[in-house]
Amino acid sequence: MWGVEFSEESTATFVQGALEQQNAGPSVTYIANEGALRQTGVEGVYTISFVFENGESLEIAITKKTTDYNYHFPGSEVENQLLYAKFNGNSLDLKESAIAIQPHKEENKLHVITNMHTVNAGDFNGTLTRIPLLKEM
């Protein structure tokens, strides 16, 4: 379904890339330190989590319903959806947003491209690479 195989938990530290938070005061760049896409206990629901070099974190929840790489907020019941995002544990009030999750078979990892817009924290844009697919903890 994802185009890559499950990886070992230890590969979460291989993540590379950055997110830029804009339009909520000064622009801030967050450099990825670790991250992963994980199964949850709910059928078709996954979380993508990142920890950045400065210790801050981002969690994104999605539903995987089709083989399409794109996830939208708000979305429809028949397509892949971006359900919610939390920055440092605080829910982001999402406006129309999208992320793409692309498989890179040669490294057995995923790339995540974010274009998230919020009411309360500005925009989060960037590309994070070498993200492993991990089984539920």
Dist. CA 32–CA 15, nearest whole Å: 6
The Cα 43–Cα 93 span in angstroms is 24
30: confidence class by pLDDT, cuts 50, 70, 90: very high
User: Given a cut of 70, is residue 137 above it in pLDDT?
Assistant: no
The pLDDT mean for the chain works out to: 95
Token readout for 67 is: 């083989």
103 vs 24, which has greater pLDDT?
A: 103
Structure tokens at 37: 């896409």
* Alpha-carbon gap, residue 70 to 91, rounded angstroms: 21
pLDDT score for 1: 82
Task: Please name the amino acid found at residue 48.
Answer: I
Residue 12, phi then psi, degrees to nearest 5: -60, -20
What pLDDT shows up at residue 25? 85
Convert the pLDDT of each residue in 61-76 to its tens digit: 999 999 999 999 998 9
Listed in sequence order, the residues at least 6 apart from 131 whose beta carbon sits closer than 8 Å to its beta carbon are 15, 35, 36, 37, 48, 109, 110, 111, 112
Q: Would you call 107 helix, strand, or coil by DSSP?
A: coil
Domains delineated in the chain = 9-134 (2.40.128)
Any idea what the Cα angle at residue 88 is, between residues 66 and 62, rounded to 5°? Answer: 5
Mean pLDDT, to the nearest integer, of 34-57? 95
Q: Compute the residue count for the chain.
A: 137
